[in-house]
Chain A
Amino acid sequence: MTTPYEILKNENISHNYFKIKLNIPHFPTPKPGQFYQIRCSTMTDPLLRRPFSLHRLLRDGNSTHIEILYRVAGKGTEWLSRRQRGEFLDILGPFGNGFIVDEGTNPILIVARGIGIAPLYSVGEEIRKNDKKRKIFILMGARLKERTFYESECEKVGEVFLYTDDGSKGFHGRAPDLLVHLLEEKQLPEKFSLYACGPAQMLKELADLSVRFGFDGQVALEEHMGCGFGACLSCVCPLRPNYIKRNIHWGKPALQWSEDRTQVYSLICKDGPIYDIREVNWNEWNA
């Protein structure tokens, strides 16, 4: 058995996308949608830990491994990309609520943009482990062809529909456009559960579509975090006061109401990063 948080592999899979494989302790077992806080420095710059969502949970004999899929976007992730097999990382977590993985027979619709596929893949894989027949559709893409990645891996868990904003590969348009197209062309079943991760604007448009077409969904939010464990109160997400939809599997929320109860903030690190697609106050979040 290897020591916790040892790096087993750290590879560049495409452009600035990397995948790191780590040995982790047996407990607690992370759930899809949860995240780890990784120290990406041994100095004070970069200073804060960086949050990374669980991409895959793997069991190998007596060892438990995880994979994290990440995009090199700054000093912290650049440091992480240079770490090598055999080195150790300073990690806290897993933190946050996981996705509620629907145990029914509903088909699953995954909608991702860019690195947003990282936590969603684990939802698909989790379902696939127990149910080989369940329909899983994956809408994924990026701004242009050169930015798309990971389609062949995703094809192992579901049917992939690719999009690019400029039409250089797959459907010409963005994820919400592709979803409308597929729904209108009846290429998707009438009833499905949506799991989405990507830029705020995409999630907001998906929330509008969830009302228009009447489907349920969960989203994973991304935000700068100070601590990751509910102490700094940096990562607030505004909710709709009249439509708070907390799952019983999620912990007691740390909601902060305004005195007149017209405003309510949740903590993404504690109450999220997974939210019901309609409980988020998207106008306030995107303002």
Chain B
Amino acid sequence: MNGMPDLSVQIGRLILKNPVMPAAGTFGYGHEYEQFFDLNRLGAAIVKTITLAPRVGNFPHRSVEVPSGFLASIGLQNVGIERFIQEKLPYFDTIETPLIVSLGGQSIEEYVKLAERLNVQKRVDALELNISCPNVKKGGMHFGSDPQVTRELVTRVRDVTDKTMIVKLSPMVTDIRIFAEISQQCGAEAVSLINGLAGMSIEIKTRRSRLGRNATGGLTGPAIKPFALYLVRQVYNTVDIPVIGLGGISSAEDAIEFLIAGASAIQIGTFNFVDPTITLKVIDGIEAYLTQNRIGTLSELIGSLLEGGIGGSDA
């Protein structure tokens, strides 16, 4: 092999120069990170879930830390689609990175309206349907845990959008493969997984939830990585569309595990808060790994998990 390895990857009709992107809800509206690094280096940028109307979000005291994890109940606080288009979207004209917009709704009609509105925005390259938010009362996870609802939602959004469509799956189901298959059948060009797991933490002195009135939250961070990796492998073995893997990635090594398991691309969520430049470190780390292992293109690595024991390996 000569020269630099090829890190590019295709997700739907999008060509990403590398497989690394932030996860929705951990990257604000993008500009929050420009103080730390050049966003042009990302494979793709993604903004936090947008809803039709602005949302003030959940009660204060929205997050607590648990061992190697982050338990948070934000409740899809966002500026709403119109302000997003007017005030947040123009920022992305200053960078060239492909842009994915995450969208969420309280009804299928809301997803359809959002997709229609975003379909005419030239700067938006892809949509990620958030059908798996664990922290909203209406909608959220419901759309991603009932196969009939998922089927109808994905089909109807597909009807109104020409953009690359990604469906973000919930881990809070008995068999995630069913939802991945439905997404593929209904026209999704990729699936991303996993969203946060529902979780709790209790302060025993007061016998109250450490998230106060919010009571429960979504668990993310390194604590969920083995579970996420397992589900990514399951889905990779089930569908033909690309899998975007996420859940607790905090290093290039973690990201490489997801790629070997079958993820075509990866997203980094919670760890952006710990190290806002982690995405760049992961890009560099993947490149170094490919170089060291004489792997010319990223596609050779994707899903390359070997079977059998590790007894004979000298690793």
Q: Which residues on A are within 8 Å of B, measured CB to CB? A: 39, 44-49, 92, 223-238, 256-259, 263-265, 284-285, 287
Contacts and interface: CB of A to CB of B under 8 A. Distances in A.
B60 to A, nearest CB: 5
Contacts of B86: none
A14 B228 CA distance: 45
Nearest to B28: A231
B64 A224 contact: yes
Interface string B67-84: 111101010011110000
Given A44-B221, A265-B77, A284-B60, 16 more contacts: A44-B68, A46-B65, A48-B274, A224-B61, A226-B63, A227-B272, A227-B273, A228-B273, A231-B273, A232-B74, A233-B62, A233-B74, A236-B60, A256-B57, A258-B55, A265-B57
Identify the 7 closest CB pairs spanning chains A and B, nearest first: A234-B63, A227-B273, A231-B28, A258-B56, A44-B222, A44-B68, A231-B32
Interface in B23-73: 25-28, 32-33, 35, 48, 53-57, 59-65, 67-70, 72
B211 to A, nearest CB: 10
Contacts of A234: 62-63, 72, 74
Nearest to B30: A231
Contact of B70 (A226, A233, A259, A287): A226
Given A224-B64, A259-B53, A44 B26 contact: no
Contact of A285 (B60, B77, B274): B60
A236 B27 CA distance: 17
A265 B61 CA distance: 12
Given A44-B222, A287-B213, A232 B63 contact: yes
B57 A236 contact: yes
Nearest to B56: A258
B276 interface: yes
Contacts of B25: 232
B79 A256 contact: yes
Contact of A45 (B60, B62, B67, B212): B67
Given A49-B273, A92-B276, A227-B276, A232 B72 contact: yes
B270 interface: yes
Interface residues of B, number: 40
A238 B61 CA distance: 11
Contacts of A264: 56
B307 to A, nearest CB: 29
Contacts of A232: 25-26, 28, 63, 72, 74, 273
A49 B61 CA distance: 17
B250 interface: yes
B60 A237 contact: yes
A195 B54 CA distance: 34
Contacts of B48: 233
Contact of B54 (A49, A259, A287): A259
10 contacts: A45-B67, A47-B222, A224-B63, A227-B276, A228-B273, A229-B276, A231-B26, A231-B272, A232-B63, A265-B57
Contacts of B62: 233-236
Q: Which of B25, B61, B72 has the most CB of A within 10 A?
A: B61
Nearest to A234: B63
Interface string B206-240: 00000011000000011000000000000000000
Contacts of A265: 56-57, 60, 77
Contacts of A238: 60
A47 B57 contact: no
A153 B99 CA distance: 53
Contacts of B63: 224-226, 232, 234-235
Nearest to B75: A233
Nearest to A229: B32
A39 B60 contact: no
Nearest to A287: B213
Nearest to A231: B28
A47 B274 contact: yes
A177 B78 CA distance: 41
Contacts of A48: 65, 70, 273-274
Nearest to A92: B276
Q: Which of B33, B56, B212 has the most CB of A within 10 A?
A: B56
Contacts of B274: 39, 47-49
B238 to A, nearest CB: 30
Given A231-B26, A231-B33, A47 B65 contact: yes
Contacts of A259: 53-54, 80
A41 to B, nearest CB: 9
B150 to A, nearest CB: 27
Q: Which of B57, B62, B74, B273 has the most CB of A within 10 A?
A: B273
Contacts of A49: 273-274
Contact of A257 (B54, B67, B213): B54
A234 B61 CA distance: 7
Given A45-B67, A230-B28, A257 B270 contact: no
A49 B65 CA distance: 10
B49 to A, nearest CB: 11
A277 B70 CA distance: 30
Contact of A47 (B53, B54, B56, B68): B68
A231 B27 contact: yes
